[in-house]
Amino acid sequence: MNQPNTSKHTEHSLSHRLRKEGDIFLRSFKRFPLAMASAILAAVFFIALTQMEPADGAREVQFTSLFLTAILGFFAALDCYLWVEYLSRSENRRPLFIAAAWLAALAVLVQIYFRLKGTQGLFNPVGAYIRYFLLLFALGLGAFFAGRLEQEQDYQNYVLDLLAGITTAFFYAGVLTAGLLLIYLSLSTLFGLTAPTAIPSIMAICFIPFMAGVFLSRFPQSWVKYRDEIPNIIGSIIGYVVIPVFLLYTFILYVYLGQLILLNNLPDTAIVSLVLWPQLVAVLVLFMSAKLKTTFIQNFYRYFPILSLPLQVLMYYAIYLRIHQYGITENRYIVVLLGIFLSFATLNFIFNQRRHHMILPQVLSLLFFIAALGGPLSVEQMSFNSQRNRLEKILLANEMLKDNAIVRNKKISDKDKVQITEILSYLVSNHKVSSLTFLNNDFTIDSMEKVFGFQPAYGIPGGTMADSVSYAMEANEVLDIAGYTQIVRIDDGNNSPPGFTVTRMDDKIQISRQMDGETLGLATVDVGDIMEKIMALEAAGVNIKPQDLEITGEGGGLAYRIILRDAYFPDPNQGAKDGYVNLLLLTRPSEKQTKEGKLD
């Protein structure tokens, strides 16, 4: 009996596997040649970047710009090819439109390259790179709808297919990376063959051109049709896990909303993140739920968008408070942008009866394009104009800006010094100071005393800049202390004056009185409430006076009046626990204590 030739069978299987893998990249090159070329160039630029000397800053910026532009070129080329495929099926192929699309993509890439090349390094200034990533997201989203405009019926399954392709490509790249790293470590350990940049080079090859090739080889043709049903596993996860979690979470937010209404309090600014990000995830869940037929999921699809609207109103109010106080920054611009998309998506789910919703990625992509390339509406221009206007308003109020020139003045309030410092620090870090006509191109924060007449002023060392909340009582403020017998200075719970015990726990300051060996509770100061009152008063445009923030009451046999000397909160989004407050405590015997003394 003849034995099977296992060696030939193995050789055949191996060669077949290699040919199959080679065919993957061949298909990718045939269908998306410029996209694959961009991925290869991105890997080459990245590897060249890892081999540069640290001192070679100019070439590092150049190759970083080339690498990032090549990544952007991958998505731009992919979108253009998909549009070409879509138009090629049309009776009117519109060659001029196709040519215009390619020329527009090239113009954007050239503009982005020179914008990045003009920076001083990675994320310096930040604004140029935020613009880049917004454009990257816009082009990435474009791949989810380019070429499918006339096939919306099975759109959810098309999106799932693309997501599965991305996951598969990432898994393949991870496995190949692990294998090549194992081979390299073996050669390094056994034979001493080492290369300083081998590991980042291996990762660049695997996760850029290889991953791109696998993804593009499995990219569905634009005319492919799917079953108009969502896989059962997706329906089970949404119905039994995701929706119950969202309903519980929404109930908690409504309890918080009810508390605000009953107590007539202002919302914590953290509510923006607590509403925005989960509801953006809910948009994806609703997008998939549109095709699921169970009664529970359909009720969720029908009523959850309506339940979301009051929470979005609360979110917008919190956003308004922040922007009214501190103007627009890149982060706030993006939050507003995503909020607009969230509201559009919510209304779309309520009123759009077709339940295909391809318009959602289209609108989000358009918003990202406007943010990146929208001229006066772009994220860079809107943020810069807002902060410049804030700075000019403060300078004019202090008579420090005349005939477009700075007039030095060191006799301004501490609060204004802090705000000027924060705004300038933000503009120096995120934008070109040369755009401020009243400052020289070489201006830095270190030259503030020379230019403005005072040194940089921060609320606390290491405090973050543009997002802080601060208050300082004027140095020449006259206080009415009539009727009080004692004044005690309290510095944020870090000291205990004679006769008193002061402790700070998170955002509460507990003040107690020592009397005849006993500790009598006097007052509890809610630091978070102080922060919210300062924010609300500033949002209303009120010139804050000490009496606006004072606290009165009785405790421990004393009547007290607490006056805020100064306060600083580096990041209100994180609450008040990292901020500080310094107080004046005025006391006198309470009426009850006085009456008891007279009876004696």
Angle between helices 57-88 and 33-50 (to 10 degrees): 170
What pLDDT is recorded for position 573?
Answer: 65
What pLDDT is recorded for position 40?
Answer: 95
Model confidence at 596, pLDDT cuts 50, 70, 90, reads very low
- Joined tokens for residue 217: 């080889």
Going by the DSSP 8-state scheme, the letter that residue 228 receives in this structure is: S
Mean of pLDDT values over 381-386: 92
What pLDDT is recorded for position 334?
Answer: 95
Distance of alpha carbon 430 from alpha carbon 21, whole angstroms: 45
Residue that wins the pLDDT comparison between 14 and 375:
375
pLDDT of 433 over the 50 cut: yes
Model confidence, pTM: 0.73
Q: DSSP string covering 444-497, please?
A: -GGGHHHHHSS----SSTT--STT-EEEE--TT-----TT--EEEEEETTS---
Going by the DSSP 8-state scheme, the letter that residue 121 receives in this structure is: B
The average confidence (pLDDT) of the chain is 84
Tell me if residue 562 falls in helix, strand or coil: strand
Question: Helix H segments across 264-294?
Answer: 271-289
Mean of pLDDT values over 110-114: 87
pLDDT of 137 over the 80 cut: yes
Q: Flag the least confident range among 169-173, 458-462, 475-479.
A: 458-462
What pLDDT is recorded for position 467?
Answer: 57
pLDDT of 599 over the 50 cut: no
Mean of pLDDT values over 128-155: 87
Q: Flag the least confident range among 343-347, 398-402, 555-559.
A: 555-559
What share of the chain has pLDDT > 90, as a percent? 36
Mean of pLDDT values over 122-127: 66
Which helix (H) or strand (E) segment is 517 a member of?
Answer: none
Model confidence at 440, pLDDT cuts 50, 70, 90, reads confident
Over the stretch 34-78, which tens digit does the pLDDT of each residue have? 999 999 999 999 999 888 776 566 788 888 899 999 999 999 999
Phi, psi of 509 (to 5 degrees): -115, 120
pLDDT of 166 over the 80 cut: yes
What pLDDT is recorded for position 248?
Answer: 96
Q: Nearest Cα to 483, choosing from 575, 545, 558?
A: 558
Residue that wins the pLDDT comparison between 405 and 519:
405
pLDDT of 510 over the 80 cut: yes
Mean of pLDDT values over 434-463: 76
- Joined tokens for residue 358: 């391809």
pLDDT of 532 over the 60 cut: yes
Model confidence at 339, pLDDT cuts 50, 70, 90, reads very high
- Joined tokens for residue 173: 């790249």
What pLDDT is recorded for position 455?
Answer: 81
Model confidence at 1, pLDDT cuts 50, 70, 90, reads very low
Mean of pLDDT values over 155-167: 91
What share of the chain has pLDDT > 70, as a percent? 88
